[in-house]
Amino acid sequence: MIEQSFAGRVAVVTGGASGIGEACCRMLAARGARVVVTDRDAARAEALARAIGAAAMALDVATQAANEACAAAVEAEIGPVDILVTSAGVLQRPLRAEELPEQVVEEVVRIDQIGTWNSAVAFGRRMALRGRGAIVTIGSIAGIRSMPLHAYSPAKAAVIEMTRCLAAEWGRSGVRVNAVSPGFTRTPALQRAIEAGERDAALLEGTSALGEMVTPEDIAEAVCFLCSDSARAITGVNLPVDAGWLVAGSWATYGGLPGPRGNAP
């Protein structure tokens, strides 16, 4: 493994109390960052922060005012923010387009798309003024391929595109902005969807090239890489971490993926 140190850096994670955000908090803290766990679930954020020696702050990303207040408070109480990971988000129940309630579309777009924008701008504007910083947004394979998720897929496509726009916006100000797009990742949110019968675990595993789901730690590794100095020349990319789901899908037209050669496990 590559030695990575975030010693002396302040890292803020939105939606940090669970799943992918939690894995990012744990990994960044283990590698020396001063982590601020933010989440709309303040109690869970507090509990995780205590467990990993981090700070916690309540933040519902849905409004610009809350993100601005949080960014100002973190910088006043803890210090200038070097790293932002925007993991706050909600998944969506697959529904026919005609049956998708408008309030579901509004909620998903408000949190996943506008919430990401709100956090990126509140923290990014401060990074840009200082001339340094790294932001990693959490997109999704659903933002790259169509799925029966008529609110979530377009919202995640917007996250990926806003990442590119912000990378160009702040490049000369020393702020790098990249996205990680997870495939199906074993988090509490996906587990709940599987248990509710909204996703089929065997299909989620079986449709990827590697034949497995992704772990939150797999995503955190990619996030840490993009935040680190090893990625100093990388900005505006979208890195899928999906166990090869994106490359495998089109093979169904040709009869599906071949089985393992030899004695591969």
> Which residues are known to be catalytic?
152
CB 133 within 8 A of CB 175: yes
Per CB under 6 A, the list member of 59, 158, 177, 179 interacting with ligand NAD is 59
Please identify, among the stretches 11-19, 48-56, 166-174, 220-228, the one whose residues bind ligand NAD according to the rule CB under 6 A. Answer: 11-19
Selected binder of ligand NAD within 46, 60, 218, 221 (CB under 6 A): 60
40 contacts ligand NAD (rule: CB under 6 A): yes
Which one-letter DSSP state was computed for residue 7?
T
DSSP state of 243: T
**Is residue 198 a contact point for ligand NAD (CB under 6 A)?**
no
For ligand NAD, which is the closer residue by CB, 128 or 151?
A: 151
Strand order in the sheet with 34-39: 55-58, 34-39, 10-14, 83-86, 133-138, 175-182, 238-241
Query: At 38, which amino acid appears?
Result: T
Tracing tokens 């799943």 back to the chain, one arrives at: 19
Contacting residue, 52, 55, 78, 90, with ligand NAD by CB under 6 A: 90
Contact 184, 207 (CB under 8 A): no
Taking CB under 6 A as the criterion, the residue among 30, 41, 63, 93 binding ligand NAD is: 41
Nearer to ligand NAD, 133 or 182 (CB): 182
SS3 of residue 209 by DSSP: coil
Q: Is 94 exposed, middle or buried (0-12, 13-18, 19+ CB in 10 A)?
A: middle
Q: Which two tokens stand for residue 30?
A: 């283990």
Q: Does 115 bind ligand NAD (CB under 6 A)?
A: yes
Alpha-carbon span 82 to 175, nearest angstrom: 9
Q: Does 133 sit near ligand NAD (CB under 6 A)? A: no
Pick from 11, 13, 21, 71 the residue near ligand NAD by CB under 6 A.
21
Site for ligand NAD in 134-153 (CB under 6 A): 138, 140
3-state helix, strand, coil in the chain (%, to 5): 50, 15, 35
**Can you tell me which of 11, 20, 56, 120 binds ligand NAD, judged by CB under 6 A?**
20
Task: Round to whole Å and give the CA distance between 41 and 183.
Answer: 24
The smaller minimum CB distance to ligand NAD, of residues 62 and 78, is found at 62
Please name every residue paired with 86 in a beta bridge, in sequence order, or none if there are none. Answer: 14, 137
Of residues 20 and 175, the one with the C-beta less far from ligand NAD:
20
Assess 185 for contact with ligand NAD (CB under 6 A): yes
What is the contact surface with ligand NAD in residues (CB under 6 A)?
Answer: 14-15, 17-21, 39-41, 59-62, 87-91, 111-112, 115, 138, 140, 182, 184-185, 187-190
